Structure 1
């Protein structure tokens, strides 16, 4: 059982859905980013997605891209991202941390070295958007052997023929992308997401968490009502980009979490 498994088991026993928050490590700077991450559990976040900035973020919309650019310009590195995880673990041993990003920084570090360092830092899961299931031997299987969940994305174009391959080695949860396209490009609609979540649930016992296009407490609630939880990223990153104080960012996150938890 990983922290992710434990979290979903607890939420199920409480009759609640999960709220997952994404922030870009190092945005707008390392100190502020660390403070935000450490404040997320107290704002109602059940799972933290910690973005690793990358120079060619092909799946991200402009909001996340700019966050990554700010972080890289400020000197954010993979070591510093792992340092943020370690900082959270000083006071929180239960909230799962999922690192989300691209394969190049991991490949450059070396898979075995990266996985050892990630496990030591308290990383519980990985979402690596540019590694398809055909490349599971590259990172997915070694990660799971190291006790780190490998979370796969399913999309509106993942048909019944492709779905079993996507789910084959997925662990922790399935991240369903509610819309076609990049992050932040449209609003998620529960009436279209619900049937897709139901379709995926017929093929797996893993929790299904829905992300992309969720910007408000109302949408977080509507999506959580048809799934096992909701992810918000761009809307939170926008607050950071606007220069809001950490307390205001966390207050906004709290409203989103309350929305998802009220489902």
Structure 2
């Protein structure tokens, strides 16, 4: 009699060691609460806050100078800032995290807090850079299709872009750029704090961030508008000096946005951890 071939058992992945998470419901008043908590952290650690504020300000000054003199290199400098920015932001998250634990933050430790999360951070930053490159490619397509007055010179970029003859370009560029901005925001809004807090992989952190935005869409849209408004106001100050204040505060506030929307649960006791 022919022998019956044994079928291999289907693969069952091992259970995850990570605690389950619960996405919390955010209220419209929560973003203001996150900012108030951030202001307290800023005032409690002026030295650390000033260091990160100067770092963000220097990046903004460099980006602005390149845009004015050599706009063709703006995307390259922006990529460098996007590479460095998340690591600086994680240092601010570390300050707020330690304060919540009742510990005293130190500048040296905040600067190097990413070293134990390098793989996850590296992959997440790579994803963000890929999104930025796609954004840049899409921008070139929009320029080629909708720009009606010829490519602007290096000295008249802003004036040429906002020429009334280019209204179709402005609409298309806003829609495309806004779409990519929303995608980047949704992917990154709480992903880096998640990596810092739970040492998760980049994919889990990004999914958690998307879940937060999906489950609190209106509140997170408000949070994104507040972030944008504060950054714009900071840039409108002389020499963009407002970034010395706004940069660290938004960093601290992002940690509290994470803490206010993601809760980790102990598997045995079903209690928050």
Verify same fold: TM over 0.5.
Answer: no
The higher radius of gyration belongs to: 2
Which structure is higher in RCO with an 8 Å CA cutoff and minimum separation 6?
Answer: 2
Which TM-score band applies after superposition, normalised by the shorter structure? under 0.3
Q: State the TM-score, normalized to the length of structure 1.
A: 0.26
More helix by share: 2
More strand by share: 1
